[in-house]
Structure formats: C-alpha cells, structure tokens
Amino acid sequence: MTDSFKDKIGKGGFGTVYKGRLPDGLVVSVKVLSESNGNAEDFINEVASIGRTSHVNIVTLSGFCYERDKRALIYEFMANGSLDKFRHKQGSEAKCPLEWKTLSEIAVGIARGLEYLHCGCNTRILHLDIKPQNILLDKDFCPKITDFGLAKLCKPKESTVSMMGTRGTAGYIALEVFSRNFGGVSHNSDVYSYGMLVLEMVGARKNLDSEASHTSELFPHYVYKGLELDNDENVFGAITEEEKEIARKMVIISMWCIQTNPSDRPSMSKVVEMLEGPLHTLQIAPKPFLFPPAQGSMITSQPAEIDTKAILSHEQISGN
C-alpha cells in the first residue's frame, strides 16, 4: 500500500504519515503510530470517534490496522496538507499566505465540522485538540478536521464530560481544561480552541509573530487592541474594504469564542450564523482575561460595547 513506506508526508509526536494507494487506486494517507505511544487509548478513541462521523468537513477514515506491536490509521489523502503549513515559516517549508476569502471559507468549514460533531451525530463528540496541525486541506482548500485521539464522547443532552488531567495543545486549551474552577469541560472548550485557531489564521496572514506571540496571552490582547482602535491596516493586513470586513468579522467572532466564562461563548451553530451574516450585526465581545487569577480572586470580563464601531480609550484597552 505504501510502497515500503517510501513517501513520507508528515511526522509528529504521534508517529509518521505516509502517502499510499489502495488496490482500487484510491490515494490515501497512512498514519503509523510510534512505538513509544504504548497506550492504545488514543488509537481506540480515534477509531471509535471518527467511525461515527460522515461530513464534508471531517476527514474520512478508510481503514485501520491494530496489532500488538503495530497500529496504523488510513485516511483520505489531502493534497494541501495541514493548515499549519500555511503559517509563517522560514526556509523551504514556507508557503504563500492564503487569501482572505480563502481564510474565511476555511473558518466557515471548520465551524461547520465542529457544529456537526457537537450536535449532528447521535453521540456528541468533543474533539479537544483543535489546532492548525489537525486541520487538513484538500486540493480545493476545503478544510477537514482530523486526529480524534483526545476526543471524548457524550450523550447529546449532556453538557460536560469527566476528564482526568489536561488534554490538548498549549495555546489552544480553554482555561476550564486546565482548572475545573473555571467550569466543566464541554463542547464550549472546543469553541475556545476554534477561536484561538481563527485568531492565529488572522495573525499568520499578517505575520504578527515578530510583534506578539500567537501562542501567548499577549497575542489576543494585541489583536483586540487593533479591533477596538479600528486599526485594520496595521493589525489585520487587509487592503481592500472587502478584506477588512472579512478580517474584522473573523476577529470579532474569535473574541466571543475565547471568553473566559464557557457559558459566554457562542455555540458552533451560532458561530456559523455569525460568519455567514453581515458584519454590522456583530457586537464586540468583552476583552477576554487569559491570565489565571491570583489566589482568592475572581476573573471577570469588561462590559462589551454594542456598536462595533465604538472605540475605547487606550487605558480601557490595556486594562489600566
């Protein structure tokens, strides 16, 4: 199938991905899990979760191999690789930034995929590891969510899941996943990760890495300041009025998604509605507080302004 594993197309902590071809000629990706990943829970999670799905924005599992010393997953092949490859990088791996319209379409597709996982399956699926590396792009840049190794299943009417320890990737994990003091782990935790992902898409388009790290708490605050100051050109990198509207809409929605209180975040159904609706209907979210509180203190949010064109003072933006 893989011609003796000659064509390697990806590698990570989970193992290595190879390009292969099934007997019927279908080109596939074969993810061979590393031997160091001795716990079979992630593998079983992935097969159990993705095997329940059928959606244009969820990667298709074609088959799997499960033996005592060898485990592999066979997926549909995605010609444009992961969204991660379109972030700013130096050297031979660097790719041209995606256009704003394409970024918007990708954001909508990911939102539709999460909406399906949260309320379109008989069993609700929480992905719990949404990040650029886990979004694959086909030849037409249609996004597909992959890697369900950390996923949790729950009944549609259940709002939270029990979970030991912390799951996910630093920079995309909601506060309630770190500490249950912020609330229970639920589909709202995926909403937070989605918000951070879309913010990073905006930052990668402008290459903001040199000004504010996209994996730190500073990055959302930096973008939020540009949003409130209506500083589209400097922060978002948009040029035309259409691009500015797309960028502003993506940032406003992202800020709602990363609210500290999980109940303040919109559902993915609402996110899709917001993405496909007009900009003037969107309210600016409260500035999110992404730093953990001091001992004995409570995290609160600043009140949101209703008018999207309202401009706060510099002191309000910086939190002083």
The end-to-end CA distance of the chain, in Å, is: 60
Which one from 84, 129, 190, 232 is the annotated catalytic residue?
Answer: 129
The order of strands in the sheet holding 27-33 is 8-12, 15-21, 27-33, 70-76, 61-67
CA distance 118 to 187: 7
The encoded tokens of residue 270 equal 């609402």
147 is catalytic: no
Axis crossing angle, helix 218-228 with helix 187-206, rounded to the nearest 10:
70
Closest by CA to 130, choosing from 150, 112, 102, is: 150
Nearest CA-CA partner of 150 in 235, 245, 46, 67: 46
The answer to whether the CB of 182 falls within 8 A of the CB of 260 is: yes
Is the backbone of residue 230 left (phi > 0), alpha (psi -120 to 50) or beta? left
Which positions are catalytic? 129
